[in-house]
Amino acid sequence: MHIHVVQRGEVLWRIADYYNVSIQDIVNLNRLTNPNILVPGHALLIPTKNTYTVRRGDTLWKIAQKFGVNIQDLLRENPNLNPNLIYPGNVLTIPQRPKPEIDVNAFTYFLGNEAVPIVREAGPYLTYLSPFAYLINEDGSLVNIADEQAIAEAYSQGVVPMMSIVNFTTNVEGENLANIVLNNPDTVNTLQENIINIMKEKGYQGLNIDFEYVLPEDREAYNSFLESTVNRLHSEGFFVSTSLAPKLSAEQVGLLYEAHDYPAHGRLADFVVLMTYEWGWRGGEPRAISPVNEIRRVLDYAVTVIPRDKILMGFQIYARDWKIPFKQGDEAETISVSDAMNLAYAHMSEIQYDYLSQSPYFHYTDAEGNAHEVWFEDARSAQAKFDTVKEYGLRGISYWGLGYEFPQNFPLLADNFQIEKL
């Protein structure tokens, strides 16, 4: 696929004509609501074919650039072609780029029957699905969730269900709960038994441990819990992964970071999910939610202490809408990428692109006269993240979280990678 950024004055039929594809194909792939109106800065995915018909003014160099291939591969794919004599009407075969194979996980907090269509749509692009999440209690019991429908749909899509456990809620950070559980061997044993029982009962094949805001003094207790849990679950035939805060170094301070021992998790867990998102969090100032420049800083440290083939890079697939100027105490609204694009079109707001963070954004004024700043994801920012996974040679990607519509994401993911199916 190609990514075409709409320029001022462009119309869809000219874009379709340039790439020799149908207007309807572009409309369907990008889920455009009105093909007669385009907003400048909109990054459109353009479907491509394995063949290209030479047009007046084309050269081999131009064609190679258009399809992101080199001239040598183009000639190899078309052995009867004279590179010095190409004419309008010549049909060339475009070489296909080999795709690296990766694992893809996605968390979803849409549960019950609501999860079924969400998992069905995403299923072809996933290796694992993690319904979010079982909250641990002080006595080692777990708060049940309505995950049966999501698990059943995952199996129907050839996706491995992965149980997720947490020590926090949206209102409670969870450091005291973790302290109570992790430092009591009997409670740890009870928790592990309950985990195994639920996994067997519901059909989970693996576990993700997402303990956050663990007290720094509980770092070794957390490592000990992880080691004993891995040993018990491996003996039962299950795999274990963990979710880790985005650290820049081993010495990074803060409640979110200090108890997360990257080398220990890299040694013990089958793989880890790096939570490389939420720089632009809902209670903070407007900025990119998962900026690539910040992600790279995390990866630069992570790959020195965790095997690359154990790292899933986190990728958020939602948008945030802030009122500006930002005031302390304000909270941004979390919306889908499709909702963000609808806002841009409703207000005819030109989409800007921040090349440092590799993230799009725009401004608009609502009906009450309030100014807004929206940061979201598009085909360009998704491609930048996929390129980062390739560059660092990672195991794959973990999405947070399913249910926010981002129609370009999965087709572009499949265009870049072969998704591992277990």
**Residue 400: CATH number of its domain:** 3.20.20.80
Q: pLDDT tens digit string along 290-337?
A: 999 999 999 999 999 999 999 999 999 999 999 999 999 999 999 999
Looking at the structure, tell me whether residues 210 and 70 fall in a common domain. no
Residues 293 and 410 in one domain: yes
CA-CA distance, 175 to 119, in Å (whole number)? Answer: 32
More confident residue, 53 or 110: 110
What is the Cα–Cα distance from 294 to 47, expressed in whole angstroms?
31
- Checking if the pLDDT of 338 tops 90, the result is yes
Q: Please tell me the predicted confidence (pLDDT) of residue 311.
A: 98
Q: pLDDT, tens digit, for every residue of 241-290?
A: 999 999 999 999 999 999 999 999 999 999 999 999 999 999 999 999 99
Whether residues 342 and 407 share a domain: the answer is: yes
pLDDT band of residue 79 (cuts 50, 70, 90) is confident
User: Which residues span the domain enclosing 352?
Assistant: 101-419
The answer to whether 212 is a known catalytic residue is yes
Residues 105 and 202 both lie in one domain: yes
Domain count, the chain: 2
Residue that the structure tokens 């963990």 belong to: 242
Banded pLDDT at 94 (limits 50, 70, 90): confident
Does the pLDDT of residue 91 top 90, yes or no?
Answer: no
Residues 334, 191 within the same domain: yes
Together in a domain, 229 and 82: no
Question: At which of 93, 126, 149 does a domain end?
Answer: 93
Mark whether 118 and 76 lie in a shared domain: no
Residues 33, 151 within the same domain: no
Split at pLDDT 50, 70, 90, the class of 68 is: confident
Q: What is the pLDDT of residues 9-32, one digit of tens each?
A: 999 999 999 888 999 999 999 999
What is the pLDDT at residue 80? 84
Q: How confident is the model at residue 191 (pLDDT cuts 50, 70, 90)?
A: very high
Q: Where among 46, 63, 93 does a domain terminate?
A: 93
* DSSP-assigned states of every residue in 336-358: -HHHHHHHHHHTTPPPEEETTTT
pLDDT score at 77: 87
One domain for residues 112 and 85: no
| Residue of 153, 175, 212, 294 with catalytic role | 212
Residues 6+ apart with CB under 8 A from 184: none
- Single out the residue in 93, 122, 150 at which a domain terminates: 93
Contact 89, 54 (CB under 8 A): yes
Q: Both 13 and 108 in a single domain? A: no
Q: Looking at the structure, do residues 194 and 120 belong to the same domain, yes or no?
A: yes
